């Protein structure tokens, strides 16, 4: 199966209904061996492209991953980015904000971690939590020390969507490409993965009773995601809805999209000036003489 970006990209202005987006599709690989071969090729090409991104130095790339618990964000990041030079890439995960972070605007803590030019940044969860979990649990909003007029209203969320898209547009104009992935997991598959975390001792640490408690809010989360994806997928910072019930398939889809995004950037290795070329030839000649001495 050929991967087409348009099959997963949320078009700007679309009203998303997640029930119409599959959580499982026909595999893009023929077998386990084929999966490993394709992924290894993607990882190698990604490593080459990252080196060029670093050398070029004009652009940065930010990949954002959002999903329900157990959708496989960690494993996608681990497998797809396994070949990247750590010096040119940083991964940040965001949980409950600290007391200091709560005293700032909701974009502050993530803005500090944006990638510099030449680098790849990865957000495992992000500022989008502020229009997802905070929308599902408005008591969190009440604890953010906002002005009294700011409450759990539709205008509050529209204002936050606007703040997010304005930030992402600013980043795009400044050379940072923002690409966002929603790993679309079914509730049944999440249940199976939770059971696996209980049954396998080396996965017990991944399981929390709070994860199960959140399942009763599933419909609320889906509604929050629908509104978020509809309001914040833009031509300059698109959302991709990736079917996540098949982990291997999801990894290959994500890696393909990552390669396409990096491939669209007009990157080039810096040219060596004429004077510098002369200096290098002189140094090379000296090194050759040293070898003969």
Domains identified in the chain and CATH numbers: 5-292 (3.40.50.300)
Q: Identify the residue whose tokens are 């953010």.
A: 144
How far is residue 72's CA from residue 180's CA, in Å, rounded to a whole number?
Answer: 15
Cα gap 39→2, rounded to integer Å:
14
Helix or strand or coil: residue 184? strand
Backbone phi, psi, residue 131, to 5°? -120, 15
For the whole model, what pTM was predicted? 0.92
pLDDT tens string, the chain, 293 residues long: the values are 678 889 999 999 999 999 999 999 999 999 999 999 999 999 999 999 999 999 999 999 999 999 999 999 999 999 999 888 888 899 999 988 888 888 899 999 999 999 999 999 999 999 999 999 999 998 888 888 888 766 678 899 999 999 999 999 999 999 999 999 999 999 999 999 999 999 988 888 877 888 888 999 999 999 999 999 999 999 999 999 999 999 999 999 999 999 999 999 999 998 888 888 889 888 888 888 887 76
User: Residue 257 burial by CB count (10 A; 0-12/13-18/19+): exposed, middle or buried?
Assistant: buried
Q: Do 118 and 57 meet the contact criterion of CB atoms below 8 Å apart?
A: yes
Alpha helices in 8-31 (DSSP H): none
- Under DSSP, the state recorded for 116 is P
């Amino acid at each position: 199966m050929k991967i087409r970006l348009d099959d997963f990209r949320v078009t700007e202005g679309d009203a998303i209904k997640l029930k119409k987006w599959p959580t499982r599709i026909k595999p893009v690989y023929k077998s386990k061996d084929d999966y490993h071969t394709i992924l290894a090729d993607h990882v190698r090409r990604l490593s080459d492209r990252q080196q060029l991104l670093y050398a070029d130095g004009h652009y940065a790339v930010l990949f954002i991953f959002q999903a329900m618990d157990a959708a496989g964000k960690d494993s996608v990041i681990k497998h797809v980015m396994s070949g990247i030079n750590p010096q040119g890439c940083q991964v940040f995960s965001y949980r409950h904000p600290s007391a200091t972070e709560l005293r700032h605007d909701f974009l502050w803590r993530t803005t500090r971690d944006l990638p510099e030019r030449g680098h790849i940044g990865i957000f495992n969860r992000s500022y989008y939590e502020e229009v997802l979990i905070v929308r599902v649990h408005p008591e969190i909003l009440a604890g953010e020390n906002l002005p009294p007029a700011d409450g759990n209203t539709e205008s509050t969320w529209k204002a936050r969507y606007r703040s997010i898209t304005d930030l992402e547009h600013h980043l795009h104009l400044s050379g940072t490409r923002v690409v966002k992935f929603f790993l679309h997991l079914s509730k049944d598959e999440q249940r199976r993965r939770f059971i696996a975390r209980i049954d396998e001792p080396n996965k017990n640490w991944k399981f929390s009773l709070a994860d199960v408690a959140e399942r009763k809010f599933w419909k609320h989360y889906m509604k929050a995601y629908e509104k978020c994806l509809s309001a914040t997928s833009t031509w300059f910072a698109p959302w991709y809805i990736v079917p996540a019930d098949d982990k291997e398939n999801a990894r290959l889809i994500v890696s393909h999209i990552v390669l396409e995004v990096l491939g669209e950037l007009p990157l080039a290795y810096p040219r060596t000036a004429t004077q510098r070329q002369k200096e290098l030839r002189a140094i090379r000649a000296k090194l050759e003489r040293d070898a003969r001495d």
